[in-house]
Structure 1
Amino acid sequence: MAPKLFLTGTTGYIGGTVLDTLVAKHPEYEITALLRNVPSNFTSRYPKVNIVKGDYDSAEVISDAASKANVVVHSGNSDHEPSIKALIAGLLKRDSTSFLIHLGGTGVVADWQQPDYLGRVNPKVWSDIENIDEIISLPDKALHRNVDKIILDAGAQNSDKVKTAIICPPDIYGPGRGPARTNSVYFPAFFEEIKKLGTSFYPAEGTNTRSWVHIEDLMTLYVKLIEAAIDGGGNANWGKEGYYFASSQEASQLDIAKATGRVLHKHGLISSSEPQQLPLDQVDGMVSSWGIPHIATYMFAANSRTRADRAKAVLSYEPRAPSLWDSLEADLLACK
């Protein structure tokens, strides 16, 4: 029988690209997607993908779909507890072992709540192997920690029924390939604030540093982990050790601001290529339309430095996509 997969978040940047990648690479998979609203191009692009209508609060719909899947790939809201609980409840109804692959993020280790390092480089680089005990014991105030704990507990208490993994990408660049959103999160937000300010910018020293990965390299990791799940677990790590960073490179906010300034000035979108240094409190007030306190501090002033040690060690993950700098111009111009 064909492996059965249930996917969420398939109109998003990451989840949509996961869907598109799996349909192209593994047409033999039987895929079901959760959709609140069906994009007009969805059925023509993915005629063999089954659709279940619902959103992340549709607990019965989610649980029922998960109960019919060998593998669940949850790429939706990383902090939404009802959806993850419904997925786990559905998987626990199955007679055979199933797999849950959840989209987390390296925001869980970001230092946006540590004032000493805002706008300054933090020497801490997190390894998903060497620092795994520290990662799975982070305080509740860490981003994504609420859902991470639910997944880790489910994997520990029901290891014979549900094998769990959490993919934690850093900031992502490159064009998505899904049916709806195809832009990343960071660059559209950065571009909008630059338009308001009239110049590129960085906070304080601007040496705060974050890891990055191209969307296509991230898809390589997803495919490897999903294939391992279909193979009964393969050589992948699951449960407590099932934490996967995906980083391929890193960059400081200052270097990004300088490169962005050059690109936007070249295209006549700002009057000067030189970025402006801003105080931390001004940066903290940005991206206010999102309604998320301190989101701009997290995005533009914090450090989040990680190494994809586990993916490389157990899944032979080798990032090969174009670098951040090679992709920057196209990503910025896609925000216009």
Structure 2
Amino acid sequence: MSPSIFLTGGTGYIGGSVLDALTKAHPEYSLTVLLRNVPPTFKERYPDVRIVEGNFDNTELIASTAADSDIVIHNGNSKHEGSLRAHITGLLRNATAASPRYLIRLGGTSSIADWADPAYYGETNPQVWSDVADLDDLKSLPDTALHRNMEKIIEQAAAEHGDRLKCAIICSCGVYGEGRGPGNTQSGLIPMYWAQIQKKGREGRAFYANSGGNTRSWVHIDDLTQVYLKLVEAAAAGGGNASWGREGYYFTASQEWSQLELAKATGKILKQHNIIDNEEPLKLSIDDIKAMKPGKTTFALYGIYVFACNTRTRSDRARNVLGYVPQSGDLWSYLEGDLMAAVRSEGVQGVH
């Protein structure tokens, strides 16, 4: 019998790509999505996907929909504790040891980012986190670690109900490439970088801090969705070879690059397209980076997190238990496309 799946964040960059991948790989799955706003072409594009209209504050709607589902894929608002608890509450309503339910949640490597240690601002941190070898440390991160509050909710649910609720957290790193879904198709980090550069018009320059050695792991959106797909397939098979519960923690990295490398490549591309005058990246002070407010967040050091700290990870678990082998080209193969999509979205004159 085909599983019933409830997915949130279906118009987002990652959630929409997961939605698209699932419908193409497994049209036999029964798929329900929570949508605050239904895109005009959604029903035509996904005629067999059931829509539940609501938002993350509609916790009883979320719980009741989850109760009718075998698998929940929680994308979207990463800080909304109420929606996550509603997913868990709903899944547990009909879960049994003989017929467990599955929860797959999107987290992020901001949980291991070294934004709290000024010694590594703009410098390389030698630590590379493994989701296998460093699992005990990952489960002992302080409450101040980003995403830690949400991870603890899942950890508690898995510890108390692990016989009938199987949980997994996908901790994605920086993502690049064009999204495949019905809503946002742009990644987060590259547009945020461009948004800071373009504030000074043609005089804007790509930038870094200190040596620019701070390093981030990256993954192409299509490779990331493969991790999701493999986990969903494992859940549909009764758990498969996947790790769940305490060990259900998955990094997704396929490569890593420094901020200086990103700055040099970005400056070259923008200069080639006659968008900026100087391709040489600019070295900024840490105070300049701290003053930046990329994205929509109240986190005071988000500029440091995005542009000056390290998030280095290895996707050991996905490779070992899911057979994950990234297939897409590296960041440099897609950077121009991602940058120009961000430029076009800002309506820069002469760019089409």
Short-chain TM bin:
over 0.9
Q: 1:266-281 to 2 correspondence within 5 Å?
A: 266-281=272-287
- Which deviations, in whole Å up to 9, do the C-alpha atoms of 1:48-77 show, x marking residues without a partner? 100111111111000000001110000111
Give the TM-score of the pair, scaled to structure 2.
0.94
Query: What is the Cα deviation at residue 289 of structure 1?
Result: 6.5
Query: What is the Cα deviation at residue 287 of structure 1?
Result: 2.6
Matched letter for residue 145 of structure 2? A
Please identify runs of 4+ aligned residues in structure 1 that moved more than 6 A. none
Contact kept in structure 1, 2:177 and 2:334, CA below 8 Å: yes
- Which deviations, in whole Å up to 9, do the C-alpha atoms of 1:176-216 show, x marking residues without a partner? 01111000000111001111141110011110001000000
Match of 2:341 in 1: 334
Distance 1:246 1:288 in 2: 23
Matched letter for residue 249 of structure 2? Y
Query: What is the Cα deviation at residue 291 of structure 1?
Result: 4.2
Q: 1:308-323 to 2 correspondence within 5 Å?
A: 308-323=315-330
Identity over aligned residues, as a percent? Answer: 52
The answer on 1:298 being equivalent to 2:301 is no
Query: What is the Cα deviation at residue 85 of structure 1?
Result: 0.2
Query: What is the Cα deviation at residue 2 of structure 1?
Result: 2.4
Distance 1:290 1:230 in 2: 35
Task: Count residues in correspondence.
Answer: 336
Query: What is the Cα deviation at residue 80 of structure 1?
Result: 1.3
**Aligned partner of residue 162 in structure 2, secondary structure:** coil
Matched letter for residue 80 of structure 2? H
Match of 1:158 in 2: 161
Q: Which residue among 108, 133, 136 is the counterpart of 1:133?
A: 136
Match of 1:261 in 2: 267
- Which deviations, in whole Å up to 9, do the C-alpha atoms of 1:116-174 show, x marking residues without a partner? 10100000000000000000110000000000000011011101110000001100000
Query: What is the Cα deviation at residue 88 of structure 1?
Result: 0.2
Q: Which of 123-132 and 70-79 deviates more?
A: 70-79
Matched letter for residue 103 of structure 1? L
Match of 1:209 in 2: 215
The answer for unaligned runs of 5 or more in structure 1 is none
Give the TM-score of the pair, scaled to structure 1.
0.99
The answer on 1:58 being equivalent to 2:61 is no
Distance 2:123 2:45 in 1: 45
Match of 1:145 in 2: 148
- Which deviations, in whole Å up to 9, do the C-alpha atoms of 1:221-257 show, x marking residues without a partner? 1111110000000000000000000000000000000
Distance 2:83 2:146 in 1: 17
Match of 2:293 in 1: 287
Contact kept in structure 1, 2:31 and 2:50, CA below 8 Å: yes
**Aligned partner of residue 202 in structure 1, secondary structure:** strand
Distance 1:79 1:157 in 2: 22
Query: What is the Cα deviation at residue 296 of structure 1?
Result: 1.1
| RMSD of aligned Cα (Å) | 0.9
Match of 2:122 in 1: 119
CA gap 1:283/1:164 in 2 versus in 1, 3 angstroms: same
